[in-house]
Amino acid sequence: MLDFIQMVASGIAVGSSYALMGLAMVIIYKTSEVPNFAQGEMALISVFFTFMLLDHYGVPGYIAFPATLAFAAVLGFILEFTVLRRAKNPNVLGMIVITIGLEMILLGLVSWKFGADHKDMPFPISPYESFAMGKVFVSTLEVLTLFVALVMMVTLFLFFRFSKLGMAVKATQQNRSAARLMGIRTNRIMMFTWGISSVVGCVAGLLLTPVSMDPFMMWDPMLKGFASAVLGGMTSLPGAVFGAYMLGIIENLFGGYVSIEFKSVVAFVIIVLVLCVRPSGLFARHYVKKV
């Protein structure tokens, strides 16, 4: 029983990073209906920007980390404005290919500039620091990840639910043409969603750096975040969060009781099953467009 509780606790902790990546993908999908497969590499290049500030230039952490969040937002603005917006009459498949191309470009830039070797980020919290909650051991980094994830989830929920800008994002998602007629600058909304999505992904990446930091560190979290979003619903922020924690727990239990070697396969099995049984996800509504 103790092993089960320990695995569930670890699953919740790892699910927090999946939740952040899932939220980042849902934010863009809600407005463009295109999954952004460059999400992980957008976080990656922001993480290495932090590493450059801390390690190469000796910038203090209280300056480097906020500067990284600003860099991530600007990166999202630039990619949407210079690449996505310039695509001529793109269909969904074309936009997906563009995001995959961006993923490869950003990965190549990081590999070229910093090399493929593992790096050690000067992070204020060690992944090896832990404490006991009864008989269950939890690392300090896992608690920080869970806390930051919950704060960002609540903040995003309140923002999209009650702010004028959040309502403009919802309007753009539902009907871009009608939103434009009502005076909403939909191009700016699109650029904004890419910026805020980039910031959320950057936070997830920064929380993963004490465990592993190399050019391929974001592939697995990005895929798991995508799986979480598919499970909960690509248009549902709460659904992506629920899907992430569910995936983290199932993955840990599968690794503990069945096979650790095939632990990573669980996410892809879930994607296949959900797409076959309920394509819209567990919490999103399925809309049928009439033409």
- Can you say whether the dihedral through the CA atoms of 64, 151, 5, 232 is positive or negative? negative
Q: Where are the domains of the chain?
A: 2-277
d(CA 169, CA 52): 34
- The residue with tokens 């990656």 is 44
8-57 pLDDT, tens digit each: 888 888 888 889 999 999 888 888 778 889 999 999 999 999 999 998 88
Task: Name, of 124-128, 160-164, 198-202, 245-249, the range with top average pLDDT.
Answer: 198-202
Q: How much of the chain, in percent, has pLDDT values that exceed 70?
A: 96
CATH architecture of 2-277: Orthogonal Bundle (1.10)
d(CA 259, CA 102): 34
| Confidence at residue 71, expressed as pLDDT on a 0 to 100 scale | 95
d(CA 205, CA 213): 9
235-261 pLDDT, tens digit each: 888 888 888 888 888 888 888 787 777
Residue 201 corresponds to which tokens in the numbers above? 């992904």
- Band (pLDDT 50/70/90 cuts) for residue 102 is very high
139-185 pLDDT, tens digit each: 888 888 888 888 988 898 888 888 888 888 888 877 778 888 888 88
218-231 pLDDT, tens digit each: 988 898 888 888 88
